[in-house]
Amino acid sequence: MKKVIVTRRWPKAVEDELKAHYNVELNEADIPFDTARMQYALQNADAVLPTVTDKLDADVFKIDNIQASVIANYGVGFAHIDTDAAKAHNITVTNTPDVLSDCTADVAMTLMLMVARRAGEGERELRSGNWTGWRPTHMVGSKVTGKTLGIVGFGRIGQAMAMRAHHGFGMPILVQNRSMVAPKVLAACNAVQVENLDELMRQSDFVSFHCPGGDANANLVNAKNLALMKPSAFLINTARGEIIDEAALFDALSSKQIAGAGLDVFRGEPALDPRFMEMPNAVMLPHLGSATVETREAMGFRVLENMEAFFAGNTPGDKVA
């Protein structure tokens, strides 16, 4: 029976299925692996099952006697895995696309509505007992319906976001993507692809990020392009924390250079820049993009499908390296 090491606790239904087919070592304490423990996993398991918050950089692979032949990632993003180092050790890497697209788009919509309509501020006022009643000038926010939404990264999640925004809220859609998007894909939401990120940020009332993380997109959002946004515009990020220069974003929020931000991901999470805690125009969630029972179970079962294919001698459907 193949040995499998799981780096965090997974939904019970998935863990039970793993136990039925593999010799499984679970992380009962649910404490993130450090480098030494991740190296132990690579040396003592046939398959290592990390999450998107685990770090498997080149240094992790600088060990002898690696036993693992597959890293089956629980999550769609894999920038936290040095795939070149994995390949050098003949390790296959897989991910879990598709199954989290809807729920992540739902959270992006949630953040957009919350920050525009000041829902976080309103709830805090209620809970503190400071609400004095309805009045014409109280908690006035921004209308969402009919406003222009710019989407950065038009893969499955970006397209799901566009469908909700355009068909649900009548929002014109602008798209910035690293490659040309097929006309029929754009037509599904009457979307227009713009030439570059600067142009998208300049024209949009809301900008929502759905692009990969990693070094290639580090500080994609910075002081220069934040300055191009309308003072009434909002930024939404459910992609990866490293794509935003957080110091520049804090400055833009505190100076009211932009109207607000809705954030589900952060640099160095769970540690956050404490300055954001005092910003009323920032709505923040603790990385809840895929956090539904249905999606978290589906992600786990997708990992199982990939492992089953790999150990049967077939190419996993979600192989990324």
* Catalytic residue annotation: 240, 269, 287
How far is Cα 24 from Cα 18, in angstroms, rounded to an integer? 7
The residue written with tokens 């954001």 in the block is: 276
Contact 150, 201 (CB under 8 A): yes
How far is Cα 5 from Cα 2, in angstroms, rounded to an integer? 10
The residue written with tokens 């992600």 in the block is: 299
How far is Cα 54 from Cα 179, in angstroms, rounded to an integer? 29
Q: What is the dihedral of CA 51, 53, 58, 63, to 10 degrees?
A: -60
Cα of 249 vs its chain's centroid, Å:
18
DSSP string, 40-74: HHHHH-SEEE-BTTS-B-GGGG--S-----EEE-B
